[in-house]
Amino acid sequence: MPTYKAPVRDMMFVLDEVIGTDRVLSMPKFSEINKDLVEAVFTEAARFTETVLQPLNQSGDKEGCTWKDQTVTTPKGFKEAYNAFVEGGWPTLTGNPEYGGQGLPNIISMTTEEMICSSNLAFSLYPGLTRGASIMLERHGSKELKDKYLPKMIQGTWAGSMCLTEPHCGTDLGLLRTKAEPQADGTYKLSGTKIFISSGEHDFTENILHFVIARTPEAAPGIKGISLFLVPKFMVKDDGSLGERNSVFCASLEHKMGIKASATCVMNFDGAVGYLVGDLYKGINNMFTMMNTERLGVGMQGLGIAEVAYQNALIYARDRLQGRALTGVKYPDKPADPLMVHPDIRRMLLTMKSLNEGCRMLAVWVSESLDIMEHSEDPVQQQDADDFVQLMTPIIKAFLTDVATDGANLGIQIYGGHGYIQEWGMEQFARDARIAQIYEGTNGVQALDLIGRKMPAHTGRYLRQFFHPVEAYLKAHENNTDMAEFIGPLAKAFGRLQQATVGIATKALGNPDEAGAAATDYLRLFALTALAYLWCRAVEVSSQKIGQGDDEFYEGKIQTARFFMTKILPQSSSLFSQIMSGSKPLMEMPDVRFG
């Protein structure tokens, strides 16, 4: 049976020593929060995820959700775990105190989210969707809607779902057919079918609030005619109590490859009462508030799975006796040496470790900017932080979930045949991880968003929020001989990223396919460069701490960074070559020759 131990020590290292908490905790909004409180939250989150959520992960996968008479029952123990989750105040972490939230910063919630995803990815989807929906409602809903629905959403008493996809359209939402008929009382009646709806129906909460994009009769075709509506499962009376059942039902559950304890529903709206959220025809813009929140959340799902896959692969590699070391017997008292002695096993483990720890630094760096964007009183700082979050969101979503699938598959490889069977749990991580590369916009779509929208936005303004700090860092350390083995590879990768950026921008002006052909490779090049920069910062910190206690931890950081720079970052060279080869190798072949 798989296990999980929250990496609190590493989380605190990233938050307190590499990224730092000063910029966030110095803001008036967070003046009462300190390092001790952050560590206390992490410690309690670790206890809850390790002892309550993780033990349900494998059993939940085997049992799955069940559907009967338009209702969904979650696996044994899940409802009780959710009740404990709510009683512990976990849904309220970053919620607005005006509506019952604790008002803690994102640098705390994104890290605790990693723990939840590591321990039980399927469980994480239920509160994750509600959090995204509450953020969207607070930003775009009327005061009446917010007062009526937000408190119980933030407290976790009511849940939320996001209803976009229809049987005939996924990414191209302009094709949707769900209708919203205006009524004399100002409400709308929605009719249509939505598919792949996570948490569309379940037994966790007494009410579920569906956020649905639909088209009014007079609306223009395409995405410009789409509006956003709140459709409650049960109507809510003026006093806040529940009324009659609304005409929205779960028609069936999807039979999936993974996350089987997460209810993925087909939802039918049959004249269901809905309320307009925001202005008419602004539905896509409003929904993107939730989608961007969810994309960052999906990135944390990826990191969570990658971490738990690594932990279990490491335990197995230390325990499993298999063959003898190539350089001679290492454990003469045993009939064979453990897997850990073999170079290829160590290659796989260090690949997982270096990418996971690098991704954790990247996630915290972005969450810092998320807090500054939302809470700084300096408009310039807010704008810069917003630009950075906009730029990095597709990278967080796509790269961290790619790392998850690759990491889970490496874990299976380390286990060998035992990784392929259910008993050890590693195959579940691979199945669960796979969806994260698909939902909330496939990773190919994320790459197109980065290269087609974020890169050229405001004549490259978003890019400056990454390029300028890296340039400044390289300049400050160009003569630092102690850091040369790390600064040199970063400088080369960053140079390739700069050249690729200019090359793509130039070629794409004449042929948009040039951007599309380069998009996925460019996103990975960007991500690896970002991790290289963060690993340099981690080495700088760790080098200064050697000799002050906890040397094993800090020396391990330096050695992991060295592996990343010499064994992972050289991919930047091949990625650059692939990018610069252009679109011709992809686009010149006639369609008929694919057969």
Report CA 147 to chain centroid distance, whole Å: 29
What is the distance between the alpha carbons of residues 141 and 159, in angstroms, rounded to a whole number? Answer: 16
Residues 364/538, Cβ–Cβ less than 8 Å: no
First to last CA, the chain: 45
Token digits of residue 437: 């590369």
Question: Closest Cα partner for 94 from 130, 124, 123?
Answer: 130
Residues 505/456, Cβ–Cβ less than 8 Å: yes
- Looking at residue 341, its amino acid is V
What is the distance between the alpha carbons of residues 182 and 192, in angstroms, rounded to a whole number? Answer: 15
**534: β partners:** none
- Which three-class secondary structure state does DSSP give residue 280? coil
What is the distance between the alpha carbons of residues 161 and 172, in angstroms, rounded to a whole number? Answer: 20
What is the distance between the alpha carbons of residues 210 and 199, in angstroms, rounded to a whole number? Answer: 10
Instruction: Tell me how far CA of residue 502 lies from CA of 391, 460, 514, 525, 542, in angstroms.
Output: 17, 11, 12, 14, 35
Q: Torsions phi, psi of 317, nearest 5?
A: -65, -30
Question: Closest Cα partner for 496 from 455, 473, 525?
Answer: 525
What is the distance between the alpha carbons of residues 83 and 26, in angstroms, rounded to a whole number? Answer: 34
Instruction: Please classify residue 576 by burial: count the beta carbons closer than 10 Å to its beta carbon, then call 0-12 exposed, 13-18 middle and 19+ buried.
Output: buried
158-163 and 207-215: which strand pairing?
parallel
What is the distance between the alpha carbons of residues 465 and 397, in angstroms, rounded to a whole number? Answer: 18
Enumerate the active-site residues: 440
What is the distance between the alpha carbons of residues 320 and 341, in angstroms, rounded to a whole number? Answer: 11
Question: Closest Cα partner for 252 from 241, 268, 231?
Answer: 268
Which DSSP category does 220 fall into?
P
Q: Torsions phi, psi of 159, nearest 5?
A: -110, 170
Residues 520/447, Cβ–Cβ less than 8 Å: yes
10 Å Cβ neighbour count for 179? 17
Residues 468/475, Cβ–Cβ less than 8 Å: no
Residues 311/299, Cβ–Cβ less than 8 Å: no
Residue indicated by tokens 């105190």: 97
Question: Closest Cα partner for 38 from 102, 118, 133?
Answer: 102
209 Cβ contact list (under 8 Å, min separation 6): 133, 149, 153, 158, 159, 160, 161, 230, 231, 232, 233
32 Cβ contact list (under 8 Å, min separation 6): none
Label residue 141 left, alpha or beta by phi (over 0 means left) and psi (-120 to 50 means alpha): beta
